[in-house]
Amino acid sequence: MKIRDHAEADITIWKEALFAAELLLLHTSPVYYGLGIPHGDGSAVVVVPGFLGSDVYLTQMHSWLTKIGYRPYFSGVGVNAECPNLLIKYKITENVERALRETGRKIHLIGHSLGGIIARAIAAQRPNDVASVITLGSPFRGTVVHPSVLRAAEAVRQKILESKGEDVLPGCYTGRCTCNFLNSLRRQLPKGVRQTAIYTRNDGVVDWRYCMTGKKQVDFEVPGTHVGLTFNVSVYSIVAARLAEAQTKS
């Protein structure tokens, strides 16, 4: 798969403040309490935060997954502001291994924004361990984002390069990097891994057109904001349905 390098998106970011309304609506919805949606079989679900985010803001989704019958795991990344290749290698893999060991079955991955890109890379690297991968507003076809996010990404890139770790490559945090993370993204996901791409056209952070696979049966559009995708009632309904479908295939 060809991946476009970092570019500015002509989008409006101020609407992202509306995510608070999505959080409020979530807590008033029967879906959040596990009503009217399919339940799980105890499989593990690893949730991965987006750029500059931590596991903390995924607490709502984590607790909801428990309510509907899954065994959720945080990613363990701390703050997602490091080389994705090293995050996978030294942090997320530890929790993936623990999830596999404790449940004895394939796992599911859910990633928000950059976390979804990381989740897809893990799925490509470990097809025998992953039943499904769900991305929420993840521009896995190219990092086309709001200019302010690009500036933040460049600051993080400089910090990574200054660390001069032996595993850090010169092209880190760009589409030109040759690390295992990007090489994994360039490959199509194995047929045995069920994929789901959820996006919103009102996204104020990334260009929504780069968050789709192009396959109608896999891509799902929802109303709302980029940040609010982790609190969105429509997203939760889709996630419940797709996880249930994946568990019958695994």
Alpha helices in 41-146, H assignment, sequence order: 59-67, 84-87, 93-103, 114-125
% the chain with pLDDT above 90: 61
Confidence of residue 173 (pLDDT cuts 50, 70, 90): low
pLDDT for residue 168? 66
Question: In order of start, what are the domains of the chain with their CATH numbers?
Answer: 4-249 (3.40.50.1820)
Calpha distance 240→190 (Å, rounded): 22
Confidence of residue 96 (pLDDT cuts 50, 70, 90): very high
| Whether pTM exceeds 0.85 | yes
Q: What is the largest CA-CA distance in the chain?
A: 51
- For 115-170, write each residue's pLDDT tens digit: 999 999 999 999 999 999 999 999 988 766 656 766 776 676 667 667 756 666 66
Q: Where are the beta strands (DSSP E) in the chain?
A: 4-8, 44-48, 71-74, 107-112, 130-136, 142-145, 194-199, 219-221
Q: Hunting for tokens 């797709």 — which residue is that? A: 242
**Which of 82-96, 142-156, 190-204 is least confident?**
142-156
pLDDT for residue 36? 96
